[in-house]
Structure 1
Amino acid sequence: MATPSPPPPTVNLWVVLTESKRIINAHSRHFLALSVLFLLPISFSITVYPSISLLIINQSSPSHTTLSLLRIHQPPNPKTVLLLLITYIIFVTVFNLLSIGSITYSIFQGFYGRPVKLISAVKSSFTSFLPLLATLVSSNSIVFAILLILGLAAFSLTRVIIELIVPSLEVDYDYFQALSAVVILIFVAIVTKLYVNWILAWVVVVVESSYGLTPLKRSRCLVKGMESVSLSMIVVFSIAQSSMVWISTVVAASEIGNGGKLWTNVFFFVVQIVITSALLTGLMLYNLAGTTVMYMYCKAVQGELAWEIAEEFAREYVSLPFDDCKVPHVVSVAYNG
């Protein structure tokens, strides 16, 4: 009597990350190259930016330089601070979009066991750059509109309370603080819900060649029934990556606060940058890989993947894997809807 096959696994964050690890390990040199090209510049700039910005802001401190005692200290130029911030945002955004295009493409190819080539991945990063940018502008416009509506609603509510309900109400700092806290909580709840539904939008842009609002709608349809996996992925990676940024900021602030000797302790500063950048690069790689794998599982749950896999095996396609991890992978999952 044949032994019954084990039931397919229920989709969760662990299953998604395990599959991501399988694909990354199967093409380790490829993803190492992509990480160095696109992710490492992001993590390095995120790690170094707090130190540079704090040094500029605190350049008027008497302990900043030896010669500072001989001159009148001027506050930092706001234009310099603003220019640095704009440059940082543009740099991170550009490399982030390039990394999404290349790594998503590679994970998608690796999932099917197809050859994963560096040139094709780099080409995909530039091909999908403008569609990804258009989708980013669309999503940020919606988020900004929600914030604007909440702000106007809070302002209108305050005016109604003062003019119609309680004319003698004194609007003080505590009132504004409480109202701001409520608005922020509502805004965070709405935006979190949106990003839970939009988590697959960037994969849709790269894989399905769409842009703008279409990937956002498509992602919302795919995520139905998988919101818990989406939320857990957002929470885990947000906390982990934010911790790396927080560590860099705290280290920079503590060193500058101890006399501005950040650059004199070169060894400690370099070690901190190397460790933080490496960990942040790994987190971003697995975040992108996990999102792409989750896209495939969501398609399986929605019943869209079976036909694609049948077509994949029906093609006259020759796969020459270097090891067992690179063979085409069939998804079998249990869905508790």
Structure 2
Amino acid sequence: MEITPVHALNLTGVLFTSKRIIRANYFHFLSLSLFFLPLSVSLIITPYFHYSGHHFPVDLFNNFPQNHKAVSSHLLYILFIYISTLCAIATISYSTYHGFEGKHVSFFTALKSLTSSIFPIIATAIVAHALLFLISLTFLLFVGVVFTSGQSLGFVIDYNSIHFTLFSVVVVATLISVIIYFHLNWSLAFVIVVAESKWGLAPLIRSSYLIKGMRSVSFLLLLYFGIFSGIFVWLFLCGYFPMLGSFFLMLMFLRSTASNTVLYMYCKALHGELALEIDEGFDHHYINLPSDEEKVPQIVSVVAA
């Protein structure tokens, strides 16, 4: 077996390992990433038609208040994209999880895994969205109480003043920070659903535990893929190749999902939950990974940063 260079439990190590797993079974992951295509097409094609002055045969936005059929079609379209995205996350996480251990996963096996993971993932997503909604609502209600209390105490609020503008910016920035914080804490939840057969609130609690010590890596992953995805959307939105942009964005979502699964494995290693071999005299942890060329298990060493 070949021993790859040492990679620490950081952003570089996560990206390196996820890239190797994808390259070892490239067409397998490329096929699964097609589940992301509706989302990537929607993110690029829809704004492209809007800003270019073109319109779809049915203008859902103009007919939204009046045409119930258009409303239903629009909601079904959003639901289709959402379910397709969750299917992509489930199958890619499943394949990456087993690929990390050097196991071969066929395309049909990955699809079959949806029968046991898709409904738990949907349930977990509903719980997470509901909690985020309640957290956001509680925060806004608190701000509203402070705002109303200030008025009742006699403070005159000028809605056109720079102070009110700054106050609004601080409130929005704080709310976004709170949402990002919980997103980072729950970033491993879907992988936990697939790997540990948990669902609902349990994966969120489990994710909050595992991510301790690796929250900065999770944030860097969010920043890394968020920035590059944004650049792709902007470049192809302003150009004449939206379908090509949709394809590249689909690949970006693939890398992001695989990287998040690798992060889950690294978090388990950091918490001592993986059966790792430790080389005597070295504080290195050795994990089996698929080889690029021969597609057989090889050894990669990782160390805590």
TM range (shorter): 0.7 to 0.9
Matches within 5 A, 1:46-65: 46-52=43-49
**Separation in 1, partners of 2:219, 2:13:** 15
SS in 1 for 2:8: coil
CA apart distance, 1:89: 2.5
The aligned counterpart of 1:152 is 141
The aligned counterpart of 1:231 is 219
The aligned counterpart of 1:258 is none
The aligned counterpart of 2:42 is 45
Among residues 291, 294, 300, which one is paired with 2:269 in the alignment?
300
**How high is the TM-score relative to the length of structure 1?**
0.75
Does 1:172 find its partner at 2:159?
A: yes
CA apart distance, 1:286: 0.4
The aligned counterpart of 1:32 is 30
**Higher Cα Rg, which structure:** 1
Deviations 1:132-191 (A, max 9, x none): 11111111112111221122112111211111142xx14424465433322211111111
Q: Residue 98 of structure 1 contacts residue 126 of structure 1 at CA under 8 Å; is this kept in 2?
A: no
Q: Residue 136 of structure 2 contacts residue 175 of structure 2 at CA under 8 Å; is this kept in 1?
A: yes
Matches within 5 A, 1:50-89: 50-52=47-49, 76-79=62-65, 85-89=74-78
Q: How many residues align?
A: 285
Among residues 79, 99, 105, which one is paired with 2:94 in the alignment?
105
**Separation in 2, partners of 1:203, 1:322:** 23
Deviations 1:9-47 (A, max 9, x none): 3211111111111111111121122123x1223212222
**Separation in 2, partners of 1:198, 1:127:** 21
Deviations 1:275-302 (A, max 9, x none): 2112101100100110111111111111
Among residues 203, 217, 220, which one is paired with 2:208 in the alignment?
220
Among residues 239, 242, 249, which one is paired with 1:280 in the alignment?
249
Q: Residue 4 of structure 2 contacts residue 301 of structure 2 at CA under 8 Å; is this kept in 1?
A: no
Matches within 5 A, 1:250-261: 250=238
Amino acid at match of 1:214: A
Which deviates the most, 276-285 or 107-116?
Answer: 107-116
Amino acid at match of 2:233: V
Deviations 1:207-233 (A, max 9, x none): 111111111111111111111111100
CA apart distance, 1:55: 7.6
Distance 1:114 1:6, change over 3 A: closer
The structure carrying a bigger strand percent of its residues is 2
**Separation in 1, partners of 2:231, 2:181:** 22
**Separation in 1, partners of 2:157, 2:16:** 57
Among residues 104, 108, 118, which one is paired with 1:115 in the alignment?
104
Q: Residue 20 of structure 2 contacts residue 291 of structure 2 at CA under 8 Å; is this kept in 1?
A: no
SS in 2 for 1:332: strand
Amino acid at match of 1:41: P
CA apart distance, 1:204: 0.2
The aligned counterpart of 2:178 is 190
Higher relative contact order (Cα pairs below 8 Å, separated by 6+ residues):
2
User: Where do 5+ consecutive residues of structure 2 fail to align?
Assistant: 279-289
The aligned counterpart of 1:261 is none
Q: Residue 101 of structure 1 contacts residue 126 of structure 1 at CA under 8 Å; is this kept in 2?
A: no
Distance 1:176 1:322, change over 3 A: closer
- Tell me how large the CA RMSD over aligned residues is: 3.0
Distance 1:83 1:48, change over 3 A: farther
SS in 2 for 1:115: coil
Amino acid at match of 1:13: L
SS in 2 for 1:76: helix
The aligned counterpart of 2:287 is none
Amino acid at match of 2:256: N
Distance 1:301 1:157, change over 3 A: same
**How high is the TM-score relative to the length of structure 2?**
0.82
User: Where do 5+ consecutive residues of structure 1 fail to align?
Assistant: 65-74, 252-267, 310-320
CA apart distance, 1:247: 4.1
